[in-house]
Amino acid sequence: MNLTSYIRDIQDFPKPGIIFKDITPLLANPTAVNECLQQLLQNLNGQKIDKVVGAESRGFFFGTLLAHELNAGFVPVRKPGKLPYSTLKATYELEYGTDTLEVHTDAIKPGERILIHDDVLATGGTAKAVCELVERLGGVIVQCNFLMELSFLNGREKLAPHPVFAPLVY
């Protein structure tokens, strides 16, 4: 199945000059969702995963599906003020300014094997911040998964030495 046929290009979104890769047509098709999920799972080669960490908010779509299929827990990483319990924060650079992500302080136990998932790997800032949170809590990152990678932005370099996989690469 050609998953790229389920990704819609939106010109000049969210600002002029950007071509946004819209995943909603893929999410609307259960066959495409299942194919994408199977590709993400196959790439893990049966590795043991204790928790799947999903980045807000589009990382939750496949993150929860992966956790279910792997019989693993799911950990949401969210924007500040969205989690009700004690949190750990990581701030990261954006093109203009900074942003912050949070995770519950008890979400990951030292030594747990972690799969990180988000929808897109672009510049790598968000994923690097998620990696930092996982490692500060003592988690062992098995892999960073994405639905798609925008390889021309070189985000993979920021995640080294962690393995990175995306079934769709642009």
Query: So which residues are the catalytic ones?
Result: 58, 95
Cβ 143 vs Cβ 115: under 8 Å: yes
73-98: buried (b, 16+ CB within 10 Å) or exposed (e) per residue? Answer: ebbbbbeeeebeeebbebebeeeeee
CA distance 7 to 73: 28
Cβ 137 vs Cβ 105: under 8 Å: yes
